[in-house]
Structure 1
Amino acid sequence: MSAAQFTFLERAGWPSPAPFVLALPGGGSLQYRNILRWLPGRRVSGEASWDGRPVFAKLFFGAAARRHAEREQQGLAALQSAGLPTPALLAVVDFPRGERLLLSEFMPAARSLEAALGDPAKLSPALALLGRLHAAGLVHDDLHLGNFLLAEEKMLLIDGDGVRPGSAEQQRDNLALLLSQLPVALDGWRAGLLSAYGELPGSGGLDDLVDAWRQRRRQRFLAKTLRDCTQFSVVRESGRFLAVLRSAGTSLLPLLAAPDQAIEQGRRLKSGATCTVAALAMDGGPLVVKRYNRKNWRHALSRAWRPSRAWHSWREAHRLAFYGIATPKPLALLEERWGPLRGRAFLVTEFCPGVSLADALLPERVPEPALAQSLEVFFAVLCRLRITHGDLKATNLLWHEGQLWAIDLDAMTQHRSASAFRRAWRRDRARFLRNWPAGSPLHDWLARILPPV
Structure 2
Amino acid sequence: MSVHVLSDARTLRAAGRQPRLPFCVALADGRQLSMRRLLRVLPGKRLVGEAELDGRRVLAKLFVGRRCEKHWRYERGGLEALRDAGVPTPEVLAAMAMAGGGYALLTVFLETAESLAEAWARVSRRAAGDGEALAVLAPALGMLGRLHAAGLVQDDLHLGNFLRHDGRVLVVDGDAVRVICRGQALAPADAGANLAVLLAQLPPAWDRQLSALLPAYTAEQACLPEQAVLQRNIERVRAWRLGDLLAKTVRECTLFAVEQTGVRFCAVRREEAEVLAPLLAAPDRAISSGEVFKDGGTTTVARIVVIGRALLIKRYNLKNLRHALGRLWRPSRAWHSWREAHRLLFFDIPTPRPLALIEERCGPLRRRAWLICEYCPGPNLLSHLSADSAPPADEGKAICELFAALCRHRISHGDLKATNLLWDGERVLLIDLDGVVQHRSAIAHARAWRRDRARLLRNWPSGCALQRWLDEQLPAA
TM-score (norm 1): 0.91
- Partner secondary structure for residue 37 of structure 1: strand
Other-structure match for 1:174: 194
1:305 corresponds to: 329
Distance 1:48 1:406, change over 3 A: farther
Sort the Cα spacing of 1:30 and 1:4 in 2 relative to 1 into closer, same or farther, 3 A: closer
Q: Shift in Å at residue 128 of structure 1? A: 2.2
Partner of 2:21: 19
Q: What is residue 43 of structure 2 aligned with on the other side?
A: 40
Residue 31 of structure 1 contacts residue 50 of structure 1 at CA under 8 Å; is this kept in 2?
no
Within 5 Å, which residues of 2 pair with 1:253-332? 253-283=277-307, 285-332=309-356
Look up the match of 2:183. none
Q: Does 1:67 align with 2:73?
A: no
1:118 is aligned with what amino acid? R
Which residue of structure 1 aligns with residue 104 of structure 2? 100
Aligned to 1:336: 360
Q: How does 1:225-236 map to 2 (within 5 A)?
A: 225-236=249-260
Q: Which moved more, 1:244-253 or 1:272-281?
A: 244-253
Cα distance change, pair 107–117 in 1 and its aligned pair in 2 (3 A): farther
CA distance in 1 between partners of 2:190 and 2:452 (Å): 41
d(CA) in 2 for partners of 1:180 and 1:51? 43
Counterpart pick for 1:350 among 360, 374, 383: 374
* Residue of structure 1 equivalent to 2:146: 132
Runs (5+) with no aligned partner, structure 1:
none
Tell whether the 8 Å contact from 1:91 to 1:104 is kept in structure 2 after alignment: no
**Partner Cα separation in structure 2 for residue 109 and residue 48 of structure 1:** 16
Question: How far does residue 66 in structure 1 lie from its aligned partner after superposition?
Answer: 3.2
- 8 A contact 2:45–2:64 mirrored in 1: yes
CA distance in 2, matches of 1:367, 1:155: 45
1:195 aligns with 2:211: no
Please identify, of 290-299 and 77-86, the stretch whose mean Cα deviation from structure 2 is larger.
77-86
User: Which segment is superposed worse, 191-200 or 50-59?
Assistant: 50-59
Q: State the AA in 1 paired with 2:106.
A: L
Could you tell me how far apart the structure 2 residues matched to 1:447 and 1:151 are? 52
Secondary structure of 2:88's aligned partner: coil
The match for 2:114 is 110
Using the alignment, how far apart are the partners of 1:24 and 1:224 within structure 2? 35
d(CA) in 1 for partners of 2:369 and 2:276?
A: 16
Q: Alpha-carbon deviations, 1:181-228, whole Å to 9, x = none?
A: 111232222221123321453567111111111111111221111122
Change (3 A) 1:45 1:389: same
Contact 1:43/1:59 (<8 A) preserved: yes
| Aligned residue pair count | 451
CA drift at 1:432: 2.0
1:54 is displaced (CA, Å) by 4.8
More deviation, 120-129/81-90? 81-90
Q: How far did 1:150 drift?
A: 4.3
The answer to whether the 8 A contact 2:7-2:23 is kept is no
Q: Distance in 1 between matches of 2:384 and 2:421?
A: 10
Pair 1:448–1:158, CA change in 2 (3 A): farther
Q: What amino acid sits opposite 2:124 in the alignment?
A: L
Code of the aligned partner of 2:71: H
User: 1:17-61 CA distances to partner (integer Å, 9 max, x unpaired)?
Assistant: 34332255444542332x232112221113445566554332122
Cα 1:19/1:439, change in 2 over 3 Å: farther
1:283-303, Cα deviation, whole Å (9 max, x unpaired): 272221110011111111111
**Shift in CA distance, 200/432, structure 1 to aligned 2, threshold 3 Å:** farther
Partner of 2:412: 388
Aligned to 2:61: 58
Q: d(CA) in 2 for partners of 1:229 and 1:257? A: 21
Quote the offset at 1:139 in angstroms. 0.7
| Cα deviations by residue, 1:322-350 (Å, 9 ceiling, x for unpaired) | 22223222222111112232111111112
Instruction: Measure, in 1, the Cα distance between the counterparts of 2:380 and 2:253.
Output: 35
SS at match of 1:205: helix
Q: How many Å separate the matches in 2 of 1:22 and 1:101?
A: 15
Residue 123 in 1 paired to residue 143 in 2? no
Alpha-carbon spacing, 1:438–1:215, altered in 2? closer, same or farther (3 Å):
same
Distance 1:80 1:398, change over 3 A: farther
Separation (CA, whole Å) in 1 of partners of 2:168 and 2:125: 18
**Conserved? CA contact 1:233–1:243, under 8 Å:** yes
* 1:333 counterpart SS class: strand
* 1:131/1:401 CA distance change after superposition, 3 Å: farther
Distance 1:111 1:240, change over 3 A: same
Q: Secondary structure at the match of 1:182?
A: coil
Is 1:216 aligned to residue 240 of structure 2? yes
Instruction: Give the superposition deviation at 1:316.
Output: 0.5
Q: CA deviation at 1:420?
A: 1.2
Amino acid at match of 2:159: L
Q: Matched residues, percent identical? A: 49
Going from structure 1 to structure 2, the CA distance change for 1:138 and 1:369 (only over 3 Å counts) comes to farther
Query: Normalization by structure 2: what TM-score?
Result: 0.86
Q: Deviations over 1:407-439 (max 9, x none)?
A: 211111111121111111111112222333444
How far apart are the structure 2 equivalents of 1:89 and 1:287? Answer: 45
1:148 lines up with 2:155 in the alignment:
no
Separation in 2 of the partners of 1:47 and 1:366? 56
